[in-house]
Amino acid sequence: MVSVRIEVLGVDDLSRQFKRIAEHVAGSGLRAAGHAGASVILEGAKENVRETFVNQTGALENSGRVQQERKNRTNLVSYILFDIVYAAVHEYGLLNQVITDRQRKFFWAMWYESGNEMWKALALSKTYTIPARPYLRPAVDAYQHLAIKEMARVLAEEIKEEARRSTAAVTIRGGGKLNY
């Protein structure tokens, strides 16, 4: 005959601690993980900007940032923003844009100042096109798996840290007799 008695003490404390850990993860843990994942993609996009737009001012690269918006208690969205006026034009391009009088005056002034025939050609044109030079979409494609891994790593750290703070004590007492 085999008989074993197991008594678990402190289950209510453990349950409360699990709930506290879950609340932490839904709050600051989720925020930290979302920011970490979006930052991986942001850095990839900034690298793409440096490679695509050599010898530029750096304004596009420096405008990149992560912004977060909480939709509800357990839903957080992390955005990767490049909030400079021409960011979307470089990402998606601009097709057959009509040249305004103000632009035409600028093009003539630039041609007069530099002698560069490109400015004269623009001044004489009715429209212009700026080709797409994507930097963000390729970063999402290239770094999404790394971003997910980074989010998982940060979430695991947040859970571990919160569990370390836990004061729950669970005791398992056992006893019995095994007969063969």
What pLDDT, on the 0 to 100 scale, is given for residue 5? 61
Length of the chain: 180
Asked if pLDDT for residue 175 goes beyond 80, the answer is no
Q: Look up residue 9 and give its amino acid.
A: L
22 within 8 A of 166, measured Cβ to Cβ: no
Q: Rounded distance, CA 81 to CA 53, Å?
A: 18
For the chain, what are the domain ranges?
A: 10-85+134-171, 94-130
Asked if pLDDT for residue 22 goes beyond 90, the answer is no
What pLDDT, on the 0 to 100 scale, is given for residue 180? 44
**Per-residue pLDDT tens for 97-133?**
999 999 999 999 999 999 999 999 999 999 999 999 9
Q: Is 108 left (phi over 0), alpha (psi -120 to 50) or beta?
A: alpha
What pLDDT, on the 0 to 100 scale, is given for residue 36? 96
Q: Quick one: pLDDT band at residue 8, thresholds 50, 70, 90?
A: low
Q: Quick one: pLDDT band at residue 1, thresholds 50, 70, 90?
A: low
Output 10 or 102, whichever has higher pLDDT.
102
Q: What is the DSSP letter of 126?
A: S
Q: Rounded distance, CA 166 to CA 155, Å?
A: 17
Asked if pLDDT for residue 136 goes beyond 90, the answer is yes
